[in-house]
Amino acid sequence: MTDTLMTDGPAEPREPEPRAAIKPPRQYGVINGLGLWTLYKREVGRFIKVWMQTLFAPVITTLLFMTVFKLAFGDRGQLTGDFEGLIYNNFLAPGLVVMAILQNAFQNTSSSLTISKVQGSQVDFLMPPLSPLELTIGFIAGAATRGLLVALVAGTAIHFSGTLIWLVTFGQVSVDSLASLDVRHFWAVLYFGACAAIMLGALGAMGGIWADKFDHLAAITNFVIVPLTFLSGTFYDIKVMIEPFYTIALFDPFFYLIDGFRYGFLGVANSELSVGVPVAGLLAVAASLGVWAMFRSGYKLKA
């Protein structure tokens, strides 16, 4: 006979095993500060890693422009009109600094977004909990940082470029005619420089979202950005232009950015500040809103 295991009563209920504590979903406020800061660091880190190419290469180009124009004009570069009596290189230097801001701010966002689309890695910034506004701020802030850093380095290099030009000309150019960047209205330098960086960072983002390949992006640079930059008074006083080209130049959006930035150094400008200040601000805001609208609609970013 087989022994049977008998129990005196019903089995006691077993206690449930403790479950791992479930963390509540992370809550964000109006702005996802951590995500926005991470995106900004990503955009800044992209150009900091190759700082010789992104920060110092534009400075070399700027100094070459300064040297070539100085060699071409020598000590004869005197201006007339609104800039009566000013040395030409003092007039040229602020325009070259703004040109560096415009080109580098545009390149930062446009290259970042185009590379992401070509490589199919746009999911890196579309999947995280970032709103269209946060994406807009992150990309434009990164571009503005690059543009303003390039301006700082280029401006410093121009201020001390007299030695280079003097050596290249074997001392044939008088020191008094060399360029110098002395700030007269700091608010104008800061305001118009920031507007230029924000506006071109936004235009670069729109170009990067629209472009399907780098050829499309190159077309925007060659047929839009470069002509608008060169024909906006970067190298010359627009009042030397005859009609209707003078009037057309007044509708160039880059003109007010360059003219206002130059006013910060020279104290004189071609345009009225009562026009230039609101125009520059409105252009920066309008371009930023355009980027926000494209991110919100998912244009060419979401399948």
Which residue type occupies 60?
Answer: I
Amino acid 68: pLDDT: 82
Please, which residues have CB within 8 angstroms of residue 206's CB and are 6 or more apart in sequence?
287, 290, 291, 294
By mean pLDDT, which of 117-121, 157-161, 294-298 is the weakest? 157-161
Amino acid 124: pLDDT: 87
| 3 state DSSP class of 206 | helix
Cα–Cα distance for residue pair 4/90, rounded to 1 Å: 107
By mean pLDDT, which of 95-99, 216-220, 237-241, 281-285 is the weakest? 237-241
- Domains of the chain: which residue ranges? 33-297
Condensed to tens digits (0 to 9), the pLDDT of residues 44-81 reads 999 999 999 898 899 888 888 887 877 776 655 566 56
Cα–Cα distance for residue pair 68/154, rounded to 1 Å: 16
Tokens of residue 212, six digits: 């399907």
By mean pLDDT, which of 120-124, 166-170, 202-206, 250-254 is the weakest? 166-170
Which residue type occupies 293?
Answer: A
Pairwise pLDDT comparison (158 vs 168), residue with the higher score: 158
DSSP 175: G
Entry pTM: 0.84
**Residue percentage of the chain with pLDDT more than 70:** 80
Chain position carrying tokens 């005619």: 177
Cα–Cα distance for residue pair 232/256, rounded to 1 Å: 8
Does pLDDT of 289 surpass 90? yes
Greatest distance between any 2 Cα atoms in the chain: 126
Q: How confident is the model at residue 139 (pLDDT cuts 50, 70, 90)?
A: very high
Cα–Cα distance for residue pair 36/179, rounded to 1 Å: 40
